[in-house]
Structure 1
Amino acid sequence: MVERVDEYDRVLGVVERGEAVRRRWLHRIGGSVCRDAGGGYLVHRRAEGLDRFPGLYDCVIGGAVAVGEGYQDAAARELAEELGVDAVPRPVVRYLCRSGLSPYWLGLHEVLVTGALVADPAEVAWCGWLTEAEMCEAVRGADFVPDGREAFGRYRAAGQAGRTTP
């Protein structure tokens, strides 16, 4: 269940996420761009069994914000579930994303990953670290999710790219 929201991110009601996607109702997603101490970016290939963009590459780890949950809490929960990362992500930007399968509000965060990753194979088929130049090239590829491409652009526009530590 997720909160259906309006164009100002105000709650309208509670719906099933699948229904929100099918009907193209706005809802909330919390996600994070992961960085390492050297300034690298985490890129991952989505698992083949996923119903949204299976097998494509992405630079955002995230998912639906649960009813009553905040963007930052959702981003932290998704990091733990998908990568085994226990961290408090730092908010970067919140915006209305229309480049995915359906529109949604994205609370985009960043997190410094210092430990080993333990990827959930049901969510992440592969992951690795890229330099900023490599990430800029990767997001232009046809095998990259469109909303991840937009998120990276928004992340860079917010002045986060090029920093060595989040």
Structure 2
Amino acid sequence: MSSASSASPSEGAESSEAPEVSAHAARSAEEMLDIVDADDRVVAQVARGEAYARGLRHRCAFVLARDPERRVFVHRRTGTKLVFPGMYDMFVGGVVGAGETYDEAALREAQEELGVSGLPQPTPLFRFLYEDGAGRSWWSAVYEVVCDRPVNPQAEEVAWHAFLPQEELDRRIGTWSFTPDSLAAWARLRARG
């Protein structure tokens, strides 16, 4: 597999938290988010940590990053992530900051998580309201982008990564632990054809 990190998918899952990673997690918890209603209208702004602790609905951008051969960027989240630590994801992305648009967040998050600059604006595909049944929900805007640059993911965000053929990704979904929101987005994307 080209473009893979040197670590195997199982390495580093239990790594100890470095001070700079702890600082990153603290900064993430303080980031301000727009809180939205069931119709995706902004009703308040709070810190990310508070939004998560109180189960407040917010916004996220999901970007399916493919290489020029159409392989999908798949990664394992670090164990220090505030949501779904240590799990796999076939999307890059994250929360939409307070006052930020979905489009702005999609490009920012894709460049940050892939560790590249100069990506084209990701193409919007669809939006959906993700609800986990346990009080967590977020409006999710799903995008796609082709990354023709060498990736250098942020160590504080990504523990392992590789560009996988879609057929291999589909096989891995049954054996690797993927984030439930990425599985929901992937199922909707696959249903669209």
User: Runs of 5+ in structure 2 lacking a partner?
Assistant: 1-31
Which letter does structure 1 place at the counterpart of 2:129?
L
Which letter does structure 1 place at the counterpart of 2:131?
R
Cα pair 1:31 1:74 within 8 Å, conserved: no
Give identity over the alignment, percent: 39
Tell me the SS of whatever aligns to 2:183: helix
Tell me the SS of whatever aligns to 2:186: helix
Which letter does structure 1 place at the counterpart of 2:132?
S
Which letter does structure 2 place at the counterpart of 1:89?
P
d(CA) in 1 for partners of 2:90, 2:186: 7
Residue 20 (structure 1) aligns with? 51
Which letter does structure 2 place at the counterpart of 1:98?
E
Residue 139 (1) aligns with residue 170 (2): no
- Normalized against structure 1, the TM-score is what? 0.89
Residue 121 (1) aligns with residue 164 (2): no
Residue 31 (1) aligns with residue 67 (2): no
Q: Deviations over 1:24-53 (max 9, x none)?
A: 111001120111122211100111222222
Which letter does structure 1 place at the counterpart of 2:152?
V
Deviation at 1:70, TM superposition (A): 0.7
Residue 51 (1) aligns with residue 82 (2): yes
Q: Deviations over 1:98-134 (max 9, x none)?
A: 1397210011101101010011000001110111111
User: Runs of 5+ in structure 1 lacking a partner?
Assistant: 160-166
More helix by share: 2
Cα pair 1:93 1:158 within 8 Å, conserved: no
Cα pair 1:92 1:158 within 8 Å, conserved: no
Residue 6 (structure 1) aligns with? 37
Cα pair 1:46 1:125 within 8 Å, conserved: yes
Query: Could you say what the CA RMSD is over the residues aligned between the two structures, in angstroms?
Result: 1.6
Cα pair 1:65 1:74 within 8 Å, conserved: yes
Tell me the SS of whatever aligns to 2:62: strand
Further displaced range: 15-24 or 114-123: 15-24
- Normalized against structure 2, the TM-score is what? 0.77
